[in-house]
Amino acid sequence: MWSGLLAQYKYKGDEPIPALSRLTRQTAPLSFKMTTLNTLRLELATPEDIPAMVDLWFEAFKDPDMQRLWPGTPGVRKWWHDANYHDIINKPLARYVKVVDPDTLDDQGRPRIAAYAKWDTAMPEERGRRYPPWHEDMPGEECQVFFQREEDERKRVMGDYKHYYLDTLATHPDYQRRGAGSMLMKWGCDLADKNGVGAYVDASKAGAPLYERFGFVDESEPDAGDVASMARRQRG
């Protein structure tokens, strides 16, 4: 959704460009593993992971346009921490998953988080407000226009068709092109298939190939520019 989408309603993606959607009441790790240069493991995220996820997010999104909307000030970092904490605790349909590197420990002695995603399984009318009021360090009016356009585009493409929304996908630069993003994509798409629903993501044209590999189709309007409004519908 984010980095790269901002020049004209810009990006979301993870390989080749980093991007910006839980069963958080469960704490047992999932069994999905993928071996690349080292063995990465997919697990459910917990509130204790939020500080590391916030740091990862600001490492993943260093595009100047994204930094303008989401500056890395202490106040905005706390705002982002609190927004994610609120969702994990209070929105059971917002499912946060992480990919960790068990061979590398963070400064807390825990497996380092390589990437994370937020899959929102709620329809827009169920979800309520997506973000808390904008922090004073953020350009509130510009943020409002940007995210309202995302909401409008999602409604245009998906309408009332039941679907899950890939709200956030962020990969640390150290783990780009090592399969972490694909693991997070597979988790959400498998869940959608299990429940017989579609999926949607805001992407850039550059980020679209990742989603196309998972069955997403670009349904952007002809004048969308760099925007790729991508839908994954159930067959049959």
Residues 6+ apart with CB under 8 A from 78: none
Is residue 188 within 8 A of residue 216, CB to CB? The reply is no
Query: Judging by beta carbons within 10 Å of its beta carbon (0-12, 13-18, 19+), is residue 145 exposed, middle or buried?
Result: exposed
**Whole-number pLDDT of residue 7:** 38
* Cα distance between residue 2 and residue 48, in whole Å: 25
Tens digit of pLDDT per residue, the chain (236 long)? 443 444 333 333 343 333 333 222 223 334 444 444 558 999 999 999 999 999 999 999 888 888 999 999 999 999 999 999 999 999 999 999 999 999 999 988 999 999 999 999 999 888 888 999 999 999 999 999 989 988 999 999 999 999 999 999 999 999 998 999 999 999 999 999 999 999 999 987 888 888 999 999 999 887 767 778 999 998 76
Return the structure tokens found at 163. Answer: 């679907």
Query: Given this model, what pLDDT does residue 26 score?
Result: 29
In a domain, 28, yes or no: no
- Tell me if 14 is assigned to some domain: no
pLDDT at 33 (0 to 100): 47
**Ramachandran quadrant class, 9 (left: phi over 0; alpha: psi -120 to 50; beta: rest):** left
CATH of the domain at 95: 3.40.630.30
pLDDT for position 12: 39
Tokens of 3: 């980095």
Number of alpha carbons in the 13 Å side-chain half-sphere of residue 140: 7
Residue 115 in domain: yes
Q: Is residue 221 part of a domain?
A: yes
Question: Cα–Cα distance between 46 and 33 in angstroms, integer?
Answer: 19
pLDDT score of 6: 45
pLDDT value at residue 38: 58
188, part of any domain: yes
Number of domains the chain contains:
1
Strand order in the sheet with 198-204: 33-35, 39-44, 94-105, 111-120, 163-171, 198-204, 227-232, 217-218
Kindly state whether residue 45 falls inside one of the protein's structural domains: yes
Q: Does residue 39 contact residue 33 with C-beta atoms inside 8 Å? A: yes
121 lies in which domain range?
A: 33-232
CA distance 213 to 136: 39
Task: Please tell me the distance from the alpha carbon of residue 205 to that of residue 212, in angstroms, as a whole number.
Answer: 11
- Kindly state whether residue 27 falls inside one of the protein's structural domains: no
As a whole number of angstroms, the distance between CA 109 and CA 115 comes to 17
